[in-house]
Amino acid sequence: MAFEIPDACNLPTMQRPIRLAEFDELLTGSVRTYGRDSPTRLTLRLHRDARLEETVRDLAAREAQCCSFFGFTIAADGSDVVLGIEVPPQHASILDALQARSEAIA
């Protein structure tokens, strides 16, 4: 599934492939489970290593700066980091793409 960047994103075009690579790097090897709680919410359970929670928080904060429509929740749960991602209904296709990437990587 292609990853479409919405017009609401103000990340410079040249930095978008780098950000996508950051998400891929985060997901690679760390996704334990993923689930679609609703059409507008995706939850990723990530295997926590020494720096994962810090990495998740940093990436989520930077993503929220350029794409204000994202809502992120991050919580430590035992040996996992639980990342919740919410978007408005008009951006649900972004979660579809993230879920597809998670499925391909997990």
Provide the domain count of the chain. 1
Q: Which CATH number fits the domain that encloses residue 33?
A: 3.30.1360
Q: Is the pLDDT of residue 66 over 80?
A: yes
pLDDT in tens, 72-92: 999 999 899 999 999 999 989
pTM of the shown model: 0.87
Write the DSSP string, 44-84: EEEE--TTHHHHHHHHHHHHHHH-TT-EEEEEEETTEEEEE
pLDDT tens per residue, range 28-61: 889 999 999 999 999 999 998 878 999 999 999 9
**Domain with 44 in it:** 13-105
The confidence score (pLDDT) of residue 6 equals: 63
Domain-embedded: residue 4:
no
Q: Is residue 6 part of a domain?
A: no
Q: Does the pLDDT at position 11 exceed 80?
A: no
Q: Give domain status of residue 7, yes or no.
A: no
